């Protein structure tokens, strides 16, 4: 079971579609691809990068943190837009505060949203709605002790799930 499949069980609506997985990977881990990793689950490596060949090891150095510098970059984007209280609830114990599609758009900006929409094929408004639905649980699940993993740790988590 993949990380995003596992997360799907805990998000409202109960699933994370393949296009949404593509958007999340582009956002957080655009090069966390390779044999048995997210690249395989999503149908291959990003444009311009060949998939790992049989017997070839996937290295953590191929993980670049996606469009915004990984999970820490995502949280920094939200904090910089005055949404620190919301993301703080995702990291700590207790209920995760919801985030609106408008807040997601404000935090990530139109350029990132456009890139994610193009990579995933999800229309902009639908993408914002889906991200607002899954991000609280995704961050919560990736930070079980309230500590934000490094990009290398996140890559390892994504490769082993």
**Residue 75: C-alpha distances to residues 9, 40, 136 (Å):** 23, 27, 11
Q: What is the pLDDT of residue 17?
A: 80
Render pLDDT for 33-72 as a digit per residue (tens, 0 to 9).
333 334 433 333 333 333 333 333 333 334 556 778 888 9
Render pLDDT for 103-153 as a digit per residue (tens, 0 to 9).
999 999 999 999 999 999 999 999 999 999 999 999 998 888 888 888 788
Q: Which fold has domain 3-160?
A: Arc Repressor Mutant, subunit A (1.10.10)
Rounded to 10 degrees, the C-alpha dihedral 113/119/123/127 comes to -50
Return the domain boundaries, the chain: 3-160
């Amino acid at each position: 079971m993949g990380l995003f499949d596992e997360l799907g069980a805990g998000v409202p609506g109960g699933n994370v579609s393949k296009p949404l997985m593509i958007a999340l990977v582009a956002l957080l881990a655009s090069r966390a691809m390779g044999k048995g990793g997210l690249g395989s689950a999503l149908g291959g490596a990003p444009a311009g990068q060949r998939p790992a060949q049989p017997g070839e090891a996937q290295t953590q150095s191929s993980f670049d943190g996606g469009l915004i510098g990984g999970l820490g970059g995502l949280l920094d984007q939200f904090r910089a837009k005055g949404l620190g209280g919301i993301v703080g609830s995702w990291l700590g114990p207790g209920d995760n505060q919801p985030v609106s599609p408008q807040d997601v758009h404000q935090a990530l900006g139109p350029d990132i949203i456009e890139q994610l929409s193009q990579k995933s094929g999800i229309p902009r408004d639908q993408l914002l709605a889906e991200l607002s639905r899954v991000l609280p649980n995704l961050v919560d699940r990736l930070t079980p002790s309230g500590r934000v993993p490094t990009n290398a740790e996140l890559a390892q988590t994504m490769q082993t799930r």
